Amino acid sequence: MDLNIVWFILIAVLYIGFFILEGFDFGVGILLPFLSRGKEPEMVDRKRRLIINTIGPHWDGNEVWLLTAGGATFAAFPEWYATMFSGFYLALFLVLLALIYRGVSFEFRSKDNNPRWRKLWDWGIILGSLLPALLLGVVFANILRGVPIDAEMNYVGGFFNLLNPYALLVGLTTVAVCTLYGAIFLTLKIEGDLAQTARIFAIRFWIFTAILLLAALVATYFFTDIPGQLGVIPGIIPLAGFAAVLLAGFFIRKRKDGLAFTMTALTIVFTLTAFFIILFPRVMVSSLNPEYSLTVYNASSTQYTLTIMTVVALIFVPVVLLYQGWSYWIFRKRLTIDSHLEY
Amino acid sequence: MDPLILSRIQFGVTTIYHFFFVPLTLGLSYIVAIMETIYVLSGNEVYKRMAKFWGKLFVINFAMGVVTGIVQEFQFGMNWSEYSRFVGDIFGAPLAIEALLAFFLESVFIGVWIFGWDKLSKGLHAAAIWLVAIASTVSAFWILLANSFMQEPLGYAIDGGRAVMTDFLALILNPNLWVQFPHTMSAGFVTAAFFVLGISAYHLLKSSNVDLFRRSFQIAAIIGSLAVVLLGLYGHSQSQHMLESQPMKMASAEALWNTESPASFSLLTIGDMEQRSEIFSIRVPGLLCLLSFSRFDCEIQGIYDLQTQYEAEFGPGNYIPPVAVIYWSFRIMVGIGLLLLALGLYAAFLVMRDTFQNRGLSLKIYVWAIVLPYISNSFGWILTEIGRMPWIVYGLMKVDDGLSFTVPPYQMLLTLLGFTLVYAALIVATIYLMLKFIKVVPQPGADSQPDEDAQTPSVATV
């Protein structure tokens, strides 16, 4: 296997890792207003703090998966990085603004008692979670569906080109999967009434997610060149993704939250794996001419750079996994409404 | 509007704004780590309250550094895609390595540190903030390695119209990196030390929690006095190195036009400036070296001569950066640097004499001195980056060739306005919170986390 393929896989792993981790904390952010309803403002605020604190120690480390995926794209496939970020300019600008607002909101929100202050940062958490999930879904769908890329690897479409029905469907599906995933995560991290509220939400919301996911998978057969890319056997992978979401629904009803969580994570793993298999060996599909598509070969760095990056990744990715895993272990204890909360 | 101007303003705004927060993170992380380590070793509760007080301010600042850093990772692709294509083979690697080695480490362990006070042993908890500090330093190293390639490209070849890496070690050993990195780290320590000195002075003036802030002042004075000296020495090395690697930048910083203008006038201008520097800085060894170096001004090439050389080497074009900007940035940076040197050494002197608590005027000066490092840090980067113009990669690529030419100018304007407005709103919120937590006096037994104090009764120290 050559290094270009190794790096395609590594970047796929980084994005999958990102959605597995940040997926639930996006979901938790989106759910903030929906699971904290109540009559007394103080109780609502307490619930919100409880919800935020379930991801308090983790959201930042989770987000680094995206930054690293971006950095790795730059290092291994500079043409991909350049075309994608200049091409999806406004969409990614909105993702950046949303992530800025979100990150600050976690840190600032509970450091002042003023209700208007808290509301301001609550919006940061909600929009900051919703928008990136939606827009990253849209961006990924467009990468696969194909966008106008000319012979010089330049994106020549406008902003509204990106907002086609297929991409919006994938964007909405991403939001739905993250939301379901976040609700199930909350059932695992909270002890008490709020966990039950989250479970009920997950049960109700699950059917909506499953339908959207099915629609997105079916649409993928119509709007991308999946038949040419996916043989009979890899065709199982998107189906496995759908099966996993069905099982997630089954387990959440049975109150087997851990299994439901695992199944939602597997939904993400399977659908994104399918995405990258369909994409390969291209990294961005040109809708103008298949010849213009960016591939792991014409968009890549030199073998020298790829070799150095491979050595660095082989040493440090396992180290990162170890200490990040350890941090989840440290904060494994469920939170209750009476817990001491930092955020 | 001109997309080049828009993109350059955007890069300037986002980068300088990002660097409002970075130096404090670089230095304060270690200061908090030292405070918490003293607590772990001595068991003295005042150091725990100290670590928490400064830690809270650290965290607010850290969050701003992190979120504004996200933009830094991606704006090369957004506004400078031709640059990204040209140098990606070299420039992407340090950015990816920075993310993998530093971002993960600092992000995971800042979470562990904030949330882990009652979940980890004392030693392990202190280790978390040390890891955050080390990670921030590692981050600075790799991003400055990337910047050093733009300042002084080494370890590359041009192949198929793009720069490709031929020697990774040469990137690491880039001499520019080894003056720029220590200079930046010293600036971080200076910024943090003056932050701690100033806020401690504020509390000492109000006689609130004297014990905690007296000790904070002492720690910051020791660190600050060392850091200002290193800052000056490395600043000096960097200037000297720049004279070799980017003579045009240094000629502009000195406003040394050349032989064409009457020689006496040119010498008078420099001499005048030299004298002004001398007045401020007679006791500074770093500056004396600088002055003695400047005496050989027959060896310092003038701007016009350099322009002629560059035209011969790179073809016709304007190779002169905006001289007034460079000249004044250099003056402001060095001027404030010298002031900081004096104040840093004076702080150490006050601490040695152990009289600083009673010195109202001196303390007031330190309160106001908090802003000084921020000004010199910003002008340092303006000098470094604008002084490189018209190059985006020195000698290899000009800035107007690096632009994303497919992005419509109205979109660039939109993002510029978007970032500027959001950043302006955030700085208001940040300063509000900072001021709020600066004023919260950490009394013994009145810790922000009462459940912890119940477990570990605090020792009254005042």
* CA-wise closest residue to B43 among B123, B129, B131: B123
pTM of the model: 0.91
Quick: pLDDT tens for B211-244.
999 999 999 999 999 999 999 999 988 888 888 8
pLDDT, position A227: 59
Please report which confidence band the pLDDT of residue A339 belongs to, taking 50, 70 and 90 as the band edges. confident
* Sign of the alpha-carbon dihedral angle for A93, A95, A100, A105: positive
Quick: pLDDT tens for B422-461.
999 999 999 999 999 999 877 776 544 443 333 333 333 3
What is the average per-residue pLDDT within A173-201? Answer: 95
Are B81 and A302 an interchain contact pair (Cβ–Cβ within 8 Å)?
A: no
Pick the residue with more confidence: A10 or B446? A10
Strand partners, A151: none
What is the average per-residue pLDDT within A145-153? Answer: 91
Give the closest-approach CA distance of B310 to chain A in angstroms. 30
Are A308 and B168 an interchain contact pair (Cβ–Cβ within 8 Å)?
A: yes
* CA-wise closest residue to A206 among A258, A263, A165: A263
Give me the residues of chain B with pLDDT under 50, please.
Answer: 259-292, 295-298, 447-462
Cis peptide before B442 (omega within 30 of 0): no
Give the closest-approach CA distance of B424 to chain A in angstroms. 12
Q: Which residues of A touch B393 (CB under 8 A)?
A: none
* CA-wise closest residue to B249 among B193, B191, B176: B176
- What are the φ and ψ backbone dihedral angles of A155, each rounded to 5 degrees? -75, 125
* Helical (H) or strand (E) element with A289: none
Amino acid (1-letter code) at residue B255: A
Could you list the beta-strand ranges (E) of B339-396.
Answer: 391-393
Q: How many CA atoms lie within 13 A of A132 on its CB side?
A: 27
Give the closest-approach CA distance of A179 to chain B in angstroms. 23
Distances (CA, A) of A295 to A77, A292, A330: 9, 9, 41
Within 10 angstroms of residue B354's Cβ, the number of other Cβ atoms is 10
* CA-wise closest residue to A37 among A201, A208, A257: A201
Burial class (CB in 10 A: 0-12, 13-18, 19+), A341: middle
Quick: pLDDT tens for A319-336.
999 999 999 999 999 998
- Is the model's pLDDT at A194 over the cut of 90? yes
Are B406 and A156 an interchain contact pair (Cβ–Cβ within 8 Å)?
A: yes
* Sign of the alpha-carbon dihedral angle for B432, B108, A137, A267: negative
Burial class (CB in 10 A: 0-12, 13-18, 19+), B289: middle
Say how far apart CA A148 and CA A286 lie, in whole Å: 6
pLDDT, position B458: 36
Give the closest-approach CA distance of A303 to chain B in angstroms. 10
Are B60 and A68 an interchain contact pair (Cβ–Cβ within 8 Å)?
A: no
Substitution target from A13, A54, A60 for chain B, most B beta carbons within 10 A: A60
pLDDT, position B359: 75
* Contact between A335 and A189 (Cβ < 8 Å): yes
Please report which confidence band the pLDDT of residue A169 belongs to, taking 50, 70 and 90 as the band edges. very high
Are A302 and B84 an interchain contact pair (Cβ–Cβ within 8 Å)?
A: no
* Contact between B381 and B138 (Cβ < 8 Å): no
SS3 A59: helix
- What are the φ and ψ backbone dihedral angles of A20, each rounded to 5 degrees? -65, -40
- A-chain residue closest to B421, CA distance: A97
Quick: pLDDT tens for A210-254.
999 999 998 988 888 765 665 545 578 888 999 999 999 999 999
Distances (CA, A) of B101 to A128, A203, A312, A314, B143: 26, 40, 9, 12, 12
pLDDT, position B129: 97
- Report chain A's mean pLDDT, rounded to a whole number: 93
Burial class (CB in 10 A: 0-12, 13-18, 19+), B160: exposed
pLDDT, position B276: 35
Say how far apart CA B229 and CA B300 lie, in whole Å: 26
pLDDT, position B262: 33
Are B93 and A308 an interchain contact pair (Cβ–Cβ within 8 Å)?
A: yes
Quick: pLDDT tens for B399-410.
999 999 899 999
pLDDT, position B243: 81
- Is the model's pLDDT at A153 over the cut of 70? yes
* Contact between A245 and A219 (Cβ < 8 Å): no
Are A100 and B67 an interchain contact pair (Cβ–Cβ within 8 Å)?
A: yes
Burial B208-234 (b: 16+ CB within 10 A, else e): ebbebbbbbbbbbbbbbbbbbbbbbbb
Q: Which residues of B touch A68 (CB under 8 A)?
A: 96, 99-100, 103-104
Q: Which residues of B touch A111 (CB under 8 A)?
A: 60, 433, 436-437
Quick: pLDDT tens for A15-72.
999 999 999 999 999 999 999 998 899 999 999 999 999 999 999 999 999 999 999 9
- What are the φ and ψ backbone dihedral angles of A295, each rounded to 5 degrees? -125, 175
As a whole-number percent, the residues of chain A with pLDDT over 70 amount to: 97
Give the closest-approach CA distance of B192 to chain A in angstroms. 20
Quick: pLDDT tens for B214-223.
999 999 999 9
SS3 B97: helix
Substitution target from A4, A18, A50, A81 for chain B, most B beta carbons within 10 A: A81
Quick: pLDDT tens for B77-110.
999 999 999 999 999 999 999 999 999 999 999 9
Distances (CA, A) of B386 to B83, B237, B250, B383, B395: 17, 20, 12, 6, 14
* Contact between B229 and B190 (Cβ < 8 Å): no
- A-chain residue closest to B451, CA distance: A340
Q: How many CA atoms lie within 13 A of B186 on its CB side?
A: 25
Compute CA A302 distance to the chain's CA centroid, rounded to the nearest angstrom.
29
* CA-wise closest residue to B62 among B126, B107, B31, B101: B107
Substitution target from B11, B72, B80, B107 for chain A, most A beta carbons within 10 A: B107
* CA-wise closest residue to A107 among B27, B72, B61, B116: B61
Are A308 and B91 an interchain contact pair (Cβ–Cβ within 8 Å)?
A: no
pLDDT, position B285: 37
- Which spans in B80-174 are helix H? 81-98, 104-115, 122-151, 168-172
Substitution target from A68, A149, A153, A308 for chain B, most B beta carbons within 10 A: A68
pLDDT, position A112: 92
Substitution target from B7, B82, B85 for chain A, most A beta carbons within 10 A: B85
Burial class (CB in 10 A: 0-12, 13-18, 19+), B448: middle
Q: Which residues of A touch B76 (CB under 8 A)?
A: 74, 81, 85
ipTM here: 0.94
- Residue B108 CB contacts under 8 Å (≥ 6 apart), including other chains: A60, A61, A64, A323, A324, A327
pLDDT, position B267: 34
* Contact between A152 and A299 (Cβ < 8 Å): no
Give the closest-approach CA distance of A22 to chain B in angstroms. 13
pLDDT, position B293: 55
Give the closest-approach CA distance of B121 to chain A in angstroms. 11
Please report which confidence band the pLDDT of residue A103 belongs to, taking 50, 70 and 90 as the band edges. very high
* CA-wise closest residue to A169 among A228, A103, A220: A220
Amino acid (1-letter code) at residue B222: I
Q: Which residues of A touch B155 (CB under 8 A)?
A: none
For residue B92, give the nearest of A74, A97, A323 by CB distance: A74
Amino acid (1-letter code) at residue B127: A
Are B107 and A64 an interchain contact pair (Cβ–Cβ within 8 Å)?
A: yes
Within 10 angstroms of residue B134's Cβ, the number of other Cβ atoms is 17
* CA-wise closest residue to A78 among B270, B135, B64, B402: B402
Please report which confidence band the pLDDT of residue A138 belongs to, taking 50, 70 and 90 as the band edges. very high
Q: Name the token pair of A181.
A: 């995933």
Compute CA A204 distance to the chain's CA centroid, rounded to the nearest angstrom.
22
Are B74 and A86 an interchain contact pair (Cβ–Cβ within 8 Å)?
A: no
* CA-wise closest residue to B30 among B199, B144, B141, B192: B192
Amino acid (1-letter code) at residue A64: V
- B-chain residue closest to A11, CA distance: B96
DSSP B334-354: HHHHHHHHHHHHHHHHHHHHT
Q: Name the token pair of B414.
A: 């939109």
Q: Which residues of A touch B18 (CB under 8 A)?
A: none
Distances (CA, A) of B240 to B246, B289, B291: 10, 10, 11
Say how far apart CA A284 and CA A275 lie, in whole Å: 12
DSSP B4-52: HHHHHHHHHHHHHHHHHHHHHHHHHHHHHHHHHHHHHHH--HHHHHHHH
Are A71 and B104 an interchain contact pair (Cβ–Cβ within 8 Å)?
A: no
Quote the Cα angle for A301-A305-A310, to 5°.
110
CB contacts < 8 A (A, B): 221
Substitution target from B20, B67, B419 for chain A, most A beta carbons within 10 A: B67
Compute CA B118 distance to the chain's CA centroid, rounded to the nearest angstrom.
33
Please state the domain extents for chain A. 3-330
* Contact between B242 and B293 (Cβ < 8 Å): no
Burial class (CB in 10 A: 0-12, 13-18, 19+), A231: exposed
pLDDT, position B452: 37
Are A75 and B449 an interchain contact pair (Cβ–Cβ within 8 Å)?
A: no
